[in-house]
Amino acid sequence: MSGFLLGLSLGAACLASCAPILVPWYLAQAAGWGRNFVLLGLFSAGRLVGYGVFGILAWIIHPVIDSLRHSFVFGLIYLALGIMLIHFGRTQFHNPCVSKGLMRRIPAEIFARPGILAVIMGVLVGLNLCPPFLAAFTKAAETPSLAASVIFFVCFWAGTTVYLLPLPMVGLFRQPVAAIVGRFACWIMAGYFIYQGVLIWVGGLK
C-alpha cells in the first residue's frame, strides 16, 4: 500500500517525465484514443518489467545505486531511447526499412509493430532514474525481503500509472498533420535524450 501511495503522490512527476515521450509518439502513430490506450497498456507493461528489475536490484545493490546515476549504463539507456525515437520517426516517414545500416540486426517486426516498440520504450523508461523513481528505490531498499521489494515496486508502478491514463486522449487530435508533427517531435526528443546520454558518459555535466 505504501508503494501505491508513494506512486500516487509522486506520479505527477512521472507524467511530466513520460509525457514528452508519449505525446509525440502518440501523435506520430496517428491512432485513435482507443488504440492509444492499448499502447499505453503495453508501454506500462514495459515499465512494470523495468520496475520489477529494479525491485530486485533495490534489494541486492541498493548501497551503490547513487553512484549508478552517472554511470555508463544509464548513459546507454538514454542513448538507446534516443536512437529508438529517431528510428521510429524515420520508419514512419518511409515504410519500415530496417534492413539498412546499423538497424540491420534488429528484427523488422520490432519497428513495424508499435506494440513491441511500446513495451521496449516502457522498459527503457522504467529503467530511468527519475526523481520519483529514486524516492521509490530508497524506500524499497529498506524492505526486509526480495518479495517485499518487488511488491513495493509493483504498487509504485500502479500508483504512477494512474497519471498516465489521460495521455491516450491525444488520439482525439489525430490528423495526418499531427502525425508529421509528432514524428519531427520524436526526432527532437531523440536529440535531447542522446545529448543527456552523452553528457552522462563524458562525466556527468548534467
Question: Which positions touch other proteins (CB under 8 A)?
Answer: 12-13, 15-17, 19-20, 23-24, 27, 93, 131-132, 134-135, 177, 180-185, 187-189, 192, 205
Q: How far is the CB of 145 from other proteins (least distance, A)?
A: 26
Backbone angles phi, psi at 113, to 5 degrees: -110, 110
**Among the listed residues 193, 119, 117, 130, the one whose alpha carbon sits nearest the alpha carbon of residue 156:** 130
Q: Which is nearer to other proteins, 62 or 113 (CB)?
A: 62
**Cα Rg, the chain, nearest whole Å:** 17
Q: How far is the CB of 131 from other proteins (least distance, A)?
A: 5
Q: How far is the CB of 187 from other proteins (least distance, A)?
A: 8
Do 136 and 152 meet the contact criterion of CB atoms below 8 Å apart? yes
**Among the listed residues 165, 127, 129, 164, the one whose alpha carbon sits nearest the alpha carbon of residue 51:** 127
Q: Which is nearer to other proteins, 5 or 106 (CB)?
A: 5
Q: How far is the CB of 189 from other proteins (least distance, A)?
A: 6
Q: Which is nearer to other proteins, 84 or 150 (CB)?
A: 84
Q: Which is nearer to other proteins, 86 or 134 (CB)?
A: 134
Q: How far is the CB of 188 from other proteins (least distance, A)?
A: 5
Q: Where are the alpha helices (DSSP H) in 62-175?
A: 65-68, 72-93, 108-112, 114-126, 131-141, 146-164
Q: How far is the CB of 88 from other proteins (least distance, A)?
A: 14
Q: Where are the alpha helices (DSSP H) in 30-71?
A: 33-61, 65-68
**Among the listed residues 2, 26, 186, the one whose alpha carbon sits nearest the alpha carbon of residue 114:** 26
How far apart CA 66 and CA 83 sit, in angstroms, is 26
Q: Which is nearer to other proteins, 66 or 109 (CB)?
A: 66
Q: Which is nearer to other proteins, 32 or 131 (CB)?
A: 131
Please enumerate in sequence order all residues whose Cβ is within 8 A of that of 46, keeping only pairs 6 or more positions apart, or say none: 118, 119, 120, 121, 122, 123, 124, 125, 126
